[in-house]
Amino acid sequence: MSGKVRMKYPIPAKEVRTEIERKRSRFVAIAAPVHTVDEAKLFIGRIKKEFAGATHHVPAYQIGHGVSIIAHSSDDGEPSGTAGRPLLAVLQGSGLGDIVIIVVRFYGGVKLGTGGLVRAYGDAGKAVLALLPRARRASIDTVQLDVPYPLFEQMELLIERYNGRLQAKTFAAAVTITANFLVEETPSFADGVRELSNGRLQVNIIGTKIGRW
């Protein structure tokens, strides 16, 4: 277990949108979880199609986290550096990974100037992040073990104690339990299983994946 790559960082839990107004221009900000550049591009394309009548569609995204990150932004016709860059700066300051934001602007007839645009796009990004529920992208073990019926209820409590998530249980000669754990919790759960069963039961890791937790 010690040789596994451990990954854990905050990501958006779901798509969220909000709107602000600056000098009659409307800025609709939409944020969502994406795990690849292709997913980000598909999301941006979908929003552009949904808001086809908007003046600008300014995107920013970052895939991954920490030193392993892919970041991108675009001004989409706004003056250089006034839209995509401040939006990406908001993302970079959020600590979130695997996220895309697109700010859709409907021009209201009053020019904002470069400083006004920087503030407007930055404020739109901050506004949608303030509403965004968080999840985690993490390394997850799937474990399986056969539990005698007299220990079944105690095993369920043990899974809960180590923050596991029970996925399946099959009742036969014993109860076959399948559960998910963060990789850093699996060794402690395995120790708990050995203690509960006086060394008779063993945790089998049947898979490890990167997923949302």
Is residue 30 within 8 Å of residue 16, measured between CB atoms?
Answer: yes
- Is residue 188's pLDDT more than 90? yes
pLDDT digits (tens, 9 = 90+) for 192-202: 999 999 999 99
37/39 Cα distance (integer angstroms):
5
42/1 Cα distance (integer angstroms):
36
Q: Say whether pTM exceeds 0.85.
A: no
Locate 55 and state its tokens.
């003046």
- Is residue 204's pLDDT more than 80? yes
SS3 label, residue 160: helix
- Is residue 50's pLDDT more than 50? yes
Mean per-residue pLDDT over the chain, rounded = 94
Domain ranges, ordered by start, for the chain: 8-132, 136-212
Give the pLDDT score at 4: 55
* Between 123 and 67, the higher pLDDT residue: 123
Helical H runs in the chain?
37-50, 84-94, 113-131, 152-161, 186-196
Give the pLDDT score at 142: 97
CATH of segment(s) 136-212: 3.30.70.240
Q: What angle do CA 69, 72, 75 make, to 5 degrees?
A: 160
Confidence of residue 211 (pLDDT cuts 50, 70, 90): confident
Give the pLDDT score at 66: 78
Confidence of residue 213 (pLDDT cuts 50, 70, 90): confident
- Is residue 164's pLDDT more than 90? yes
- Is residue 1's pLDDT more than 80? no
Q: What angle do CA 161, 172, 160 make, to 5 degrees?
A: 5
Per-residue pLDDT, averaged over 125-136, amounts to 96
84/74 Cα distance (integer angstroms):
5
204/126 Cα distance (integer angstroms):
44
Is residue 109 within 8 Å of residue 93, measured between CB atoms?
Answer: no
- Is residue 3's pLDDT more than 80? no
Confidence of residue 70 (pLDDT cuts 50, 70, 90): very high
- Is residue 6's pLDDT more than 80? no
Q: How far is CA 195 from CA 60, 148, 182, in A?
A: 50, 15, 20
Give the pLDDT score at 175: 96
- Is residue 212's pLDDT more than 90? no
Give the pLDDT score at 132: 96
Q: Which CATH architecture has domain 8-132?
A: 2-Layer Sandwich (3.30)
